[in-house]
Protein backbone atom coordinates (compact mmCIF):
# COMPACT_ATOMS: atom_id res chain seq x y z
CA UNK A 1 0.00 0.00 0.00
CA UNK A 2 1.15 3.52 -0.74
CA UNK A 3 0.15 6.67 1.10
CA UNK A 4 0.79 10.16 -0.21
CA UNK A 5 0.32 13.34 1.83
CA UNK A 6 -1.14 15.86 -0.59
CA UNK A 7 -1.50 18.57 2.08
CA UNK A 8 -3.63 19.74 5.02
CA UNK A 9 -5.88 16.69 5.65
CA UNK A 10 -5.68 15.34 2.13
CA UNK A 11 -4.11 11.93 1.56
CA UNK A 12 -4.10 9.53 -1.35
CA UNK A 13 -4.15 5.85 -0.46
CA UNK A 14 -3.15 3.45 -3.21
CA UNK A 15 -3.85 -0.25 -2.81
CA UNK A 16 -3.66 -2.64 -5.77
CA UNK A 17 -5.57 -0.88 -8.57
CA UNK A 18 -7.62 1.24 -6.16
CA UNK A 19 -7.09 4.84 -5.18
CA UNK A 20 -8.83 6.34 -2.18
CA UNK A 21 -8.55 10.09 -1.79
CA UNK A 22 -9.28 11.67 1.60
CA UNK A 23 -10.51 15.24 2.23
CA UNK A 24 -9.17 16.81 -1.00
CA UNK A 25 -8.74 20.48 -0.14
CA UNK A 26 -6.35 21.62 -2.86
CA UNK A 27 -7.76 24.78 -4.44
CA UNK A 28 -7.21 27.54 -1.88
CA UNK A 29 -4.56 25.68 0.10
CA UNK A 30 -1.64 28.15 0.19
CA UNK A 31 0.91 25.32 0.55
CA UNK A 32 -0.12 23.30 -2.50
CA UNK A 33 0.69 23.99 -6.12
CA UNK A 34 -1.21 21.22 -7.86
CA UNK A 35 -4.06 20.90 -10.33
CA UNK A 36 -6.73 18.97 -8.38
CA UNK A 37 -7.95 17.45 -11.63
CA UNK A 38 -4.56 15.79 -12.10
CA UNK A 39 -5.39 13.49 -9.17
CA UNK A 40 -6.88 10.11 -10.03
CA UNK A 41 -9.23 8.44 -7.57
CA UNK A 42 -11.86 5.72 -7.38
CA UNK A 43 -13.26 6.79 -4.02
CA UNK A 44 -13.20 10.08 -2.13
CA UNK A 45 -13.76 10.11 1.63
CA UNK A 46 -15.04 13.40 3.05
CA UNK A 47 -15.01 13.71 6.85
CA UNK A 48 -17.30 16.72 7.24
CA UNK A 49 -18.77 19.76 5.52
CA UNK A 50 -16.05 22.37 6.09
CA UNK A 51 -14.53 23.76 2.93
CA UNK A 52 -11.00 22.67 3.93
CA UNK A 53 -12.27 19.07 3.69
CA UNK A 54 -14.99 19.04 1.02
CA UNK A 55 -12.54 21.08 -1.08
CA UNK A 56 -12.33 19.85 -4.67
CA UNK A 57 -14.27 16.62 -4.02
CA UNK A 58 -17.08 17.31 -6.45
CA UNK A 59 -14.82 18.23 -9.39
CA UNK A 60 -12.51 15.26 -8.79
CA UNK A 61 -15.51 12.93 -8.45
CA UNK A 62 -16.97 14.14 -11.74
CA UNK A 63 -13.66 13.89 -13.61
CA UNK A 64 -12.92 10.34 -12.38
CA UNK A 65 -16.45 9.00 -11.81
CA UNK A 66 -15.19 8.55 -8.25
CA UNK A 67 -17.71 7.82 -5.53
CA UNK A 68 -17.75 10.26 -2.64
CA UNK A 69 -18.24 8.51 0.70
CA UNK A 70 -19.48 10.85 3.41
CA UNK A 71 -22.31 11.36 5.84
CA UNK A 72 -25.78 11.74 4.39
CA UNK A 73 -25.86 15.55 4.39
CA UNK A 74 -22.41 16.02 2.85
CA UNK A 75 -23.19 13.37 0.24
CA UNK A 76 -26.51 15.00 -0.64
CA UNK A 77 -24.77 18.36 -1.10
CA UNK A 78 -22.17 16.79 -3.43
CA UNK A 79 -24.81 14.79 -5.30
CA UNK A 80 -26.75 18.00 -6.05
CA UNK A 81 -23.57 19.41 -7.62
CA UNK A 82 -23.34 16.36 -9.88
CA UNK A 83 -21.05 14.02 -7.95
CA UNK A 84 -21.50 10.31 -7.50
CA UNK A 85 -21.98 9.52 -3.78
CA UNK A 86 -22.64 7.06 -0.98
CA UNK A 87 -24.45 8.94 1.79
CA UNK A 88 -23.84 7.04 5.00
CA UNK A 89 -23.80 7.96 8.66
CA UNK A 90 -21.76 7.40 11.81
CA UNK A 91 -21.69 3.76 12.91
CA UNK A 92 -22.31 2.52 9.39
CA UNK A 93 -19.90 0.37 7.38
CA UNK A 94 -19.72 -0.22 3.65
CA UNK A 95 -17.94 -3.23 2.15
CA UNK A 96 -16.20 -2.19 -1.08
CA UNK A 97 -14.91 -5.77 -1.71
CA UNK A 98 -11.25 -4.67 -1.54
CA UNK A 99 -11.73 -3.03 1.87
CA UNK A 100 -14.30 -2.01 4.42
CA UNK A 101 -14.97 1.58 5.35
CA UNK A 102 -16.68 2.53 8.58
CA UNK A 103 -17.77 5.99 9.70
CA UNK A 104 -16.89 6.70 13.32
CA UNK A 105 -17.48 9.56 15.73
CA UNK A 106 -15.59 12.82 15.45
CA UNK A 107 -16.21 15.67 17.87
CA UNK A 108 -16.17 18.84 15.77
CA UNK A 109 -18.72 20.91 13.78
CA UNK A 110 -19.88 20.67 10.20
CA UNK A 111 -21.38 23.28 7.94
CA UNK A 112 -21.28 23.00 4.18
CA UNK A 113 -19.65 25.62 1.92
CA UNK A 114 -23.10 27.00 0.92
CA UNK A 115 -24.01 27.50 4.60
CA UNK A 116 -26.34 24.49 4.80
CA UNK A 117 -26.31 21.89 7.57
CA UNK A 118 -23.49 19.39 7.18
CA UNK A 119 -24.69 16.71 9.59
CA UNK A 120 -22.34 15.24 12.17
CA UNK A 121 -18.63 15.20 11.39
CA UNK A 122 -16.98 11.79 11.33
CA UNK A 123 -13.73 9.88 11.09
CA UNK A 124 -13.09 6.77 8.98
CA UNK A 125 -11.78 3.28 9.59
CA UNK A 126 -10.42 1.68 6.41
CA UNK A 127 -9.39 -1.95 6.68
CA UNK A 128 -9.16 -5.42 5.18
CA UNK A 129 -7.13 -8.54 6.01
CA UNK A 130 -3.89 -6.80 5.01
CA UNK A 131 -4.11 -3.33 6.51
CA UNK A 132 -6.04 -1.23 8.99
CA UNK A 133 -6.03 2.53 9.35
CA UNK A 134 -7.94 5.25 11.15
CA UNK A 135 -8.42 8.77 9.86
CA UNK A 136 -9.77 11.01 12.64
CA UNK A 137 -11.14 13.85 10.51
CA UNK A 138 -11.08 17.09 12.49
CA UNK A 139 -11.89 15.46 15.78
CA UNK A 140 -11.20 16.67 19.27
CA UNK A 141 -9.96 14.09 21.74
CA UNK A 142 -12.91 11.95 22.78
CA UNK A 143 -13.38 8.85 24.90
CA UNK A 144 -15.17 7.30 21.90
CA UNK A 145 -11.68 6.72 20.48
CA UNK A 146 -11.34 3.92 23.03
CA UNK A 147 -13.85 1.98 20.95
CA UNK A 148 -11.67 2.04 17.84
CA UNK A 149 -9.58 -1.05 18.77
CA UNK A 150 -12.83 -2.99 19.13
CA UNK A 151 -14.23 -1.87 15.77
CA UNK A 152 -11.44 -2.77 13.36
CA UNK A 153 -8.33 -4.98 13.16
CA UNK A 154 -5.25 -3.68 15.04
CA UNK A 155 -4.31 -0.37 13.42
CA UNK A 156 -1.15 -0.17 11.31
CA UNK A 157 -1.30 3.58 11.50
CA UNK A 158 -3.62 6.47 12.23
CA UNK A 159 -3.88 9.95 10.77
CA UNK A 160 -4.62 12.55 13.46
CA UNK A 161 -5.15 16.33 13.18
CA UNK A 162 -2.38 17.87 15.28
CA UNK A 163 -2.43 21.60 14.57
CA UNK A 164 -4.52 22.50 17.63
CA UNK A 165 -6.91 25.53 17.65
CA UNK A 166 -9.58 23.83 15.49
CA UNK A 167 -8.73 20.22 16.40
CA UNK A 168 -6.58 18.22 18.78
CA UNK A 169 -3.11 19.50 19.59
CA UNK A 170 0.04 17.55 20.36
CA UNK A 171 -0.77 16.39 23.90
CA UNK A 172 -4.30 15.34 22.99
CA UNK A 173 -2.97 13.41 20.00
CA UNK A 174 -0.66 11.43 22.32
CA UNK A 175 -3.68 10.48 24.42
CA UNK A 176 -5.65 9.68 21.26
CA UNK A 177 -2.86 7.35 20.08
CA UNK A 178 -3.14 5.54 23.42
CA UNK A 179 -6.95 5.37 23.22
CA UNK A 180 -6.86 3.87 19.73
CA UNK A 181 -3.93 1.57 20.64
CA UNK A 182 -1.80 2.66 17.69
CA UNK A 183 2.01 2.83 17.61
CA UNK A 184 2.38 4.84 14.40
CA UNK A 185 0.78 8.25 14.05
CA UNK A 186 0.77 10.47 10.98
CA UNK A 187 0.05 14.14 11.66
CA UNK A 188 -2.24 16.28 9.52
CA UNK A 189 -4.18 19.57 9.73
CA UNK A 190 -1.10 21.68 10.55
CA UNK A 191 0.74 24.67 9.04
CA UNK A 192 -1.94 25.47 6.43
CA UNK A 193 -3.15 28.54 8.32
CA UNK A 194 -1.31 30.68 10.93
CA UNK A 195 -3.26 29.40 13.99
CA UNK A 196 -2.38 25.77 13.26
CA UNK A 197 1.40 26.08 12.98
CA UNK A 198 2.92 22.89 14.40
CA UNK A 199 5.98 22.91 16.66
CA UNK A 200 7.72 19.86 15.20
CA UNK A 201 10.30 19.46 17.98
CA UNK A 202 7.66 19.64 20.66
CA UNK A 203 5.53 17.08 18.81
CA UNK A 204 8.42 14.64 18.33
CA UNK A 205 9.48 15.01 21.97
CA UNK A 206 5.96 14.31 23.23
CA UNK A 207 5.63 11.17 21.11
CA UNK A 208 9.19 9.95 21.80
CA UNK A 209 8.54 10.23 25.52
CA UNK A 210 5.59 7.89 25.14
CA UNK A 211 7.31 5.46 22.79
CA UNK A 212 4.98 6.16 19.88
CA UNK A 213 6.24 6.73 16.34
CA UNK A 214 5.26 10.09 14.87
CA UNK A 215 5.45 10.98 11.20
CA UNK A 216 5.03 14.65 10.28
CA UNK A 217 4.81 14.47 6.50
CA UNK A 218 5.91 17.07 3.99
CA UNK A 219 3.43 18.30 1.38
CA UNK A 220 3.55 15.96 -1.60
CA UNK A 221 5.51 13.27 0.23
CA UNK A 222 5.00 9.52 -0.15
CA UNK A 223 4.99 8.24 3.41
CA UNK A 224 7.06 5.11 4.16
CA UNK A 225 4.78 2.56 5.79
NI1 LIG B 1 -13.40 21.29 10.17
MN1 LIG C 1 -10.53 21.45 9.08
Is pLDDT of 224 > 90?
no
Give the C-alpha distances (Å, rounded to integers) separating 51 from 26, 30, 58, 93: 10, 14, 12, 24
Averaged pLDDT score across all residues of the chain: 98
pLDDT at residue 185, as a whole number: 98
Backbone angles phi, psi at 191, to 5 degrees: 70, -10
User: Residue 117 gets which letter from DSSP?
Assistant: B
CATH architecture of 2-223: 4-Layer Sandwich (3.60)
> pLDDT band for position 13 (50/70/90)?
very high
> pLDDT band for position 175 (50/70/90)?
very high
Note the ligand closest to the C-alpha atom of 106. Answer: 1
95 CA from centroid of ligand 1 (Å): 26
- Tens of pLDDT, residues 178-214: 999 999 999 999 999 999 999 999 999 999 999 999 9
pLDDT at residue 225, as a whole number: 86
Nearest C-alpha neighbor of 172 from the set 204, 206, 200, 199? 206
Note the ligand closest to the C-alpha atom of 25. Answer: 2
- Tens of pLDDT, residues 25-57: 999 999 999 999 999 999 999 999 999 999 999
Task: Provide DSSP, 136-189.
Answer: -TTPPP-GGGGGHHHHSS--SEEEEE-S-SSS--HHHHHHHHHHTT-SEEEEES
- Tens of pLDDT, residues 123-163: 999 999 999 999 999 999 999 999 999 999 999 999 999 99
Is pLDDT of 90 > 90?
yes
The percent of residues in the chain predicted with pLDDT above 90, rounded, is 99
9 CA from centroid of ligand 2 (Å): 7
52 CA from centroid of ligand 2 (Å): 5
CB 4 within 8 A of CB 221: yes
Distance, in Å, from the CA atom of 157 to the CA atom of 211, rounded to the nearest integer, reads: 14
Check: pTM over 0.95? Answer yes or no.
yes
111 CA from centroid of ligand 1 (Å): 9
> pLDDT band for position 93 (50/70/90)?
very high
Number of other CB atoms surrounding residue 42 within 10 Å: 16
pLDDT at residue 139, as a whole number: 98
Backbone angles phi, psi at 214, to 5 degrees: -125, 130
The percent of residues in the chain predicted with pLDDT above 70, rounded, is 100
Amino acid sequence: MKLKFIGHSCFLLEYKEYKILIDPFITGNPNINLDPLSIEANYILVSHGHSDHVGDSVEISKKNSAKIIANYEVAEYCEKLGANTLGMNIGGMVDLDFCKIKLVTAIHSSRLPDGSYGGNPNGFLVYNDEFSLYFAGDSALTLDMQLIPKLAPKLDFAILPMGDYYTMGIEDCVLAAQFIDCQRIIACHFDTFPPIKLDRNKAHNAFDKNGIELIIPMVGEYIKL
